[in-house]
Amino acid sequence: MPGIPLLARVLVAVTVMAALVATALTGTGFRGLDHSAPAASALTEGIAEDSCGSQQVIVVPPDQNVSYDGDESVRLAGRCAAGVSAGSRAGAQWLAAGTVPGRGPVLRSMADRALLDLYLSVQPDGAVVAGYYHGWDYAWPRDSSWVAVALASTGHGDDALRVLRFLGAEQNRNGTWAARYQTNGSGPVQDGRPTELDAVGWVPWAVWSWYQSAGGGPAGRGELAALWPMVNAAAGAAERSLTPDGLPGPATDYWEHGAQVTLGTAAPLLTGLRAAADIAAALGRTTASQRWGAAASRLGTAVQASFGCYGDHRLPRDPAGPDAAVTWLGPPFGPASAALVRAEQTAQRALTLPGGGLLPGTDWPGNPSTAWTPETAFFALADAETGQQAAAATLLDWLAAHRTVLGELPEQVDANGHPGSVAPLAWTDAAVLLTMVAQSHPLPAVPVPGQGKGTAAGGCPLPPLTVVGR
């Protein structure tokens, strides 16, 4: 598989430096720094495999008159002499080894390109390059987990397993992960940003999903057992994070903006604890299964009481402020319910921009007119998983219509419909692929421990009575 894009940084040095200056002036572009109002300009057009035999990844700057050498190619057209690019079919052969989802030629083409992006983005050691640009060219455990699930769900289980093993190798002794990692295996990025707690939920979900895609039987149990120490440690970290009210303490979530108690942390931790309980049961670890099931029950009750009873918004006990993380409560992360579907639909209406696409939340501190493609894909996945196929198709069509000239999915789309920030973004690729898989058949949903015994979700407390007179 391709290596780290060192050559790419040389080839596009001028473009990169110009964009870095623009970023410094506007305050936009870098994940995890303070967000500001200006919309991000396009930083990259796409990625490709270096021509003529090299497996290095090159970055294509914006506004280049280039194209791929076919829909199933990772090479740019016209860059090799005849007979030199014998390995140019490697991407197509990799695609053929799995399945390509998508209804119709446009969506199937988008799926082809998203899969080939992941083919280029997963390094030999399993690190996933989130985006091929300075500031994005690291491995986030969150993004990597989604990539692993997308790969497993499209028949590339070995690649998914490599990603999971990388995450296991990088896990902290206390079960957590750093916010992001170098993709050469040299450890976390030392930039002072805090641990992002949601990884201890996303990674067990990714392991569980990989095992389900592998058949969920004895064939994959040996590998599952090898991944168990990572899952068990992550579940322990999730359990320790729970405060007396049952919710995790303040943490930095996928917004990467401050530390709060948010649905963006609570939802993945709930899924991760449920996944850990089911994995433990599959491995015959009854005590661990009961422990993580009890922790999931405690968190699930708290999520219902503090989020569900208030519309599943970003902050606990807040009747306003929808967040795209509402999509992480239902299928494929948890059970569906009529109330949850209503909350998702309400959030989708509130976050949809006039030109299409969605914001991360109504309280998002960034540009209020810039759509984010991961969040748009999250709602598409939720729609597909809950039988709202027309709504899912509409969002997928919007995503397909706002790709770069090379057909890559960008991180952002500005108010004028122009791709912005990096393209491709591995997280968006993964979410889009999972949505297209869900259009053909439901993805496996993590079971709720003790469901049917009142542990999945409780009711909402009645408002306090007001006593008038005696």
What is the Cα–Cα distance from 431 to 376, expressed in whole angstroms?
A: 9
- The pLDDT of residue 72 is above 90: no
- Give the pLDDT band of residue 70 (cuts 50, 70, 90): confident
Cβ atoms of 148 and 157 within 8 Å: the answer is no
Q: Could you tell me the fold of the domain covering 6-440?
A: Glycosyltransferase (1.50.10)
What is the Cα–Cα distance from 375 to 385, expressed in whole angstroms?
A: 15
Question: What pLDDT is stored for residue 455 in this prediction?
Answer: 37
Question: What pLDDT is stored for residue 85 in this prediction?
Answer: 52
CA nearest neighbour of 48 among 127, 120, 123, 114: 120
What is the Cα–Cα distance from 252 to 28, expressed in whole angstroms?
A: 19
- The pLDDT of residue 33 is above 80: no
- The pLDDT of residue 380 is above 50: yes
Q: What is the mean pLDDT of residues 424-452?
A: 94
- Give the pLDDT band of residue 258 (cuts 50, 70, 90): confident
pLDDT digits (tens, 9 = 90+) for 414-430: 999 999 999 999 999 99
Reading the block at residue 466, the tokens are 């007001």
Type of residue found at 275: A
Q: What is the mean pLDDT of residues 373-388?
A: 98
Q: What is the mean pLDDT of residues 41-52?
A: 88
- Stated pTM of the model: 0.90
Question: What pLDDT is stored for residue 12 in this prediction?
Answer: 38
pLDDT digits (tens, 9 = 90+) for 116-154: 999 999 999 999 999 999 999 999 999 999 999 999 999
Q: What is the mean pLDDT of residues 361-370?
A: 95
- Burial grade of 447 (CB within 10 A; 0-12, 13-18, 19 or more): middle
Which 3 state secondary structure label does DSSP give 413? Answer: strand
Q: What are phi and psi of 56, to 5 degrees?
A: -70, 150
Question: What pLDDT is stored for residue 314 in this prediction?
Answer: 97
DSSP string, 104-115: HHHHHHHHHHHH
pLDDT digits (tens, 9 = 90+) for 329-360: 999 999 999 999 999 999 999 999 999 999 99
- Give the pLDDT band of residue 46 (cuts 50, 70, 90): very high
Type of residue found at 357: G
Question: What pLDDT is stored for residue 11 in this prediction?
Answer: 39
- Burial grade of 128 (CB within 10 A; 0-12, 13-18, 19 or more): buried
> How many residues make up the chain in this entry?
470
Reading the block at residue 214, the tokens are 């592998």
Between residues 31 and 427, the one the model is more confident about: 427
Q: What is the mean pLDDT of residues 403-421?
A: 97
Between residues 101 and 258, the one the model is more confident about: 101
- The pLDDT of residue 449 is above 60: yes
Sorted by where each begins, the domain ranges of the chain are 6-440
Cβ atoms of 94 and 119 within 8 Å: the answer is yes
Helix, strand, coil tally for the chain in percent (to 5): 45, 5, 45
Question: What pLDDT is stored for residue 2 in this prediction?
Answer: 45
- The pLDDT of residue 35 is above 70: no
- The pLDDT of residue 247 is above 70: yes
CA nearest neighbour of 112 among 424, 442, 438: 424
Question: What pLDDT is stored for residue 82 in this prediction?
Answer: 53
Non-local (6+) Cβ contacts of 37 within 8 A are: 366, 367, 368
pLDDT digits (tens, 9 = 90+) for 302-337: 999 999 999 999 999 998 899 999 999 999 999 999
Type of residue found at 10: V
- Give the pLDDT band of residue 223 (cuts 50, 70, 90): very high
pLDDT digits (tens, 9 = 90+) for 166-207: 999 999 999 999 999 999 999 999 998 889 999 999 999 999
pLDDT digits (tens, 9 = 90+) for 270-298: 999 999 999 999 999 999 999 999 999 99
- The pLDDT of residue 112 is above 50: yes
Q: What is the mean pLDDT of the chain?
A: 88
- Give the pLDDT band of residue 88 (cuts 50, 70, 90): low
What is the Cα–Cα distance from 130 to 128, expressed in whole angstroms?
A: 6
Pick from 116-120, 395-399, 461-465: least confident: 461-465
What is the Cα–Cα distance from 389 to 383, expressed in whole angstroms?
A: 6
